[in-house]
Structure 1
């Protein structure tokens, strides 16, 4: 008959008590100096590769960022959608539209291409953006709507292929504007970016953090150049807006 201590030892053996650390079972440091050095080199390489897309965005947008006061005169401004609140532009989107209206009043742009999501009947970013701009002094005939700007790459490609935009001022928040400039450049649109200021609230920090992950997708879009979710026929909206009196 086994003693109590023998029974306890048997239970501990079966349960592998005390439990092995989960992390140590997944990751074991090499025992040799050579192995440890290679592990450190592999970690540094992985970190470098992870930062490459963000580095590409900064390099691509170098020298292309301006303010509403010093951006060069350009025929078209492109304003990217940034969400609606109860059918109205969100505060972030309203700030983008304010910058576009300011540029129009200053004579630095002649037309505005508003690009956003209208994938559902009850959600229409471009029309809400148009209504906001007209209420702030931009004539309706000077506004062109892109209803299939589902993301930044789609908006840039459609600006070039559908609306014939070759040069533009891009308007967005500061944390997003470098990606917009880089992607529109990859799509064939020569652009300057105006990053509007916003207070650094929870939404701002969320957007800035999201950009770290969006940079990877942006790099893939620039390399593989996928077609937008919806392309469609070429539209004369921008050329008509520029020709209108």
Structure 2
């Protein structure tokens, strides 16, 4: 009887993990492109003082949204990582300025170290600047968890995943998806308490 309960629980867990995996993958294909007040670009690593290739693609997409009139402001998130002299958001700001975005149209937060903090601190910037809606910019497989967090922090957000993600190989996609499944389930558990 003990083993039967264990196997039922194991089967349930496997089915749930598969369901979450398919859900995250399916959600990654949603692009709710529309006019919004700002693009909220989630941080990623900085190499030296330059955005990593993954972060650069997110910034490039934010710049594209700005240059094509979808947003009037860019909000960059991300604090300082280990062994970096500059915050993720500051690196993004300098990159955007170099690519012709006026400095007064860029807002940054420099305290966050994880996605949940990115959203939390960005939500404060949104409220302080009377921004009513944002296009959320990140890698496609990151969108479902990030959008759930936007909902939890009362942000009116629409998905705008990077069309040029650096996670292109099957191996990289599987690793990223596995990571997102783990963190998504972890965040669901966190929300219960």
Q: Residue by residue, what CA displacement relative to the aligned partner does 1:181-229 show, whole Å, maximum 9, x if unpaired?
A: 11111111121111113252465543332112111222134444xxxxx
1:92–1:198 CA contact under 8 A, matched in 2: yes
**Counterparts of 2:187 and 2:55, CA distance in 1:** 21
Confirm or deny that 1:101 pairs with 2:63.
yes
CA distance in 1, matches of 2:56, 2:19: 32
Aligned to 1:133: 96
Other-structure match for 2:10: 43
Paired with 1:75 and 1:118, the residues of 2 have a C-alpha distance of: 26
Deviations 1:54-83 (A, max 9, x none): 577689x699x31xxx61100011111110
Find out whether 1:220 has 2:186 as its counterpart: no
| Aligned counterparts of 2:91 and 2:40: Cα–Cα separation in 1 | 15
Residue in structure 1 matching 2:143, options 177, 184, 208: 177
TM-score for both structures, normalised by structure 2: 0.81
Task: Summarize the Cα distance change of 1:127–1:39 in structure 2 as closer, same or farther, 3 Å threshold.
Answer: closer
**Which structure has the larger Rg over C-alpha atoms?**
1
Q: For 1:207, which of 169, 176, 184 is the aligned residue?
A: 176
Which secondary structure does the structure 2 equivalent of 1:45 belong to?
A: helix
| TM superposition score normalised by structure 1 | 0.65
Higher relative contact order (CA 8 A, sep 6+): 2
Match of 2:114 among 151, 157, 161: 151
Distance 2:5 2:46 in 1: 50
- What is the Cα-based RMSD across aligned positions, in Å? 2.9
Go from structure 1 to structure 2 and tell me whether the alpha carbon gap of 1:183 and 1:90 turns closer, same or farther (over 3 Å shift). Answer: same
SS at the partner of 2:160?
Answer: strand
CA contact (8 A) 1:79 1:112 kept: yes
Give 1:186's match in structure 2, choosing from 143, 147, 152.
152
Structure 1 counterpart of 2:47: 85
Segment drifting more, 135-144 vs 113-122: 113-122
> Which whole-Å CA distance do the structure 1 matches of 2:125 and 2:165 have between them?
31
Per the alignment, do residues 92 and 221 of structure 1 end up closer, same or farther by CA in structure 2, a change over 3 Å counting? same
